[in-house]
Amino acid sequence: MIMDFSLKNPDGTYTTGALEYGRLLFTQSCEFIRGVQKLTDLVDFEVPEIAFAGRSNVGKSSLINALTGRKTLARTSNTPGRTQQLNFFDLGGRLYLVDMPGYGYAEVPKSVVAEWRKLIDFYLRGRPTLQRVYVLLDARVEIKKHDLEIMEQLDKAAVSYQVVLTKCDKVGPLQLKKIISKLEDLLQNHPAAHPTVMPTSSAKGSGIEELRAEMAQFGC
């Protein structure tokens, strides 16, 4: 099933059809199918994929759970660095969600970090089914060196990516507007970046419907 209607209205809001398409897609069954820690374990799938990247504890697991309407699909933890592999989830046989290892956590051994980087680089450079990477940033925290590094890595790999702000309920509306504007100015210098930043809150549910609509355009 492919979207045969406009994603957005002229004013930039998502169309009713796109929101409904996203809602329906994310009501499909969603199951963990594979965890990949080594290059030799990475296999090719025929289903389109979208991936989630972000610093440890940025809220990747919480966002995946919010999108799929499940509480424990992706495990959340107060211990940064828990996701130590590429975790593949099958969304109704139409879209694979890929939870990537969190980056930028100093207490993870350097040898482990090196293996993660090798795996991620191989995944990003050789994955024709990968449609987009969503780079998650905490709305309360200034963009960090490791965030810029993953964005540069995606630029070099020519992989489309979009910035998603998490925990937006923790900042005021005026501050959030300034944060988004600053990030969108920054993204103009990144050739593989989608120009629009998407604000979300997994706790409050804000922005989840719109993000589902954005992601659903990649579902087969």
CATH number (domain holding residue 88): 3.40.50.300
Give the per-residue pLDDT at 2.
57
Confidence of residue 77 (pLDDT cuts 50, 70, 90): very low
- Look at residue 78 and tell me whether its pLDDT is greater than 50: no
Mean pLDDT score of the chain: 88
Tell me if 163 is assigned to some domain.
Answer: no
- Look at residue 81 and tell me whether its pLDDT is greater than 50: no
Tell me if 98 is assigned to some domain.
Answer: yes
Question: Model-level pTM?
Answer: 0.91
Number of domains present in the structure of the chain: 1
Tell me if 81 is assigned to some domain.
Answer: yes
Residues above pLDDT 70, as percent of the chain: 89
Q: Crossing angle for the helix pair 60-68 and 208-216, nearest 10 degrees?
A: 80
Tell me if 114 is assigned to some domain.
Answer: yes
Tell me if 5 is assigned to some domain.
Answer: no
Tell me if 30 is assigned to some domain.
Answer: yes
CB atoms within 10 A of CB 21: 23
Tell me if 173 is assigned to some domain.
Answer: no
In the chain, the amino acid numbered 133 is: V
- Look at residue 172 and tell me whether its pLDDT is greater than 90: yes
Tell me if 183 is assigned to some domain.
Answer: no
- As a whole number, mean pLDDT of residues 30-43 equals 88
Comparing 1-15, 45-59, 82-96, 144-158, which segment has the lowest mean pLDDT?
Answer: 1-15
The burial of 17, by beta-carbon neighbours within 10 Å (0-12 exposed, 13-18 middle, 19 or more buried), is given as middle
Give the per-residue pLDDT at 72.
63
Name the token pair of 172: 């005021």
For residue 128, the enclosing domain spans 16-132+142-158+204-216
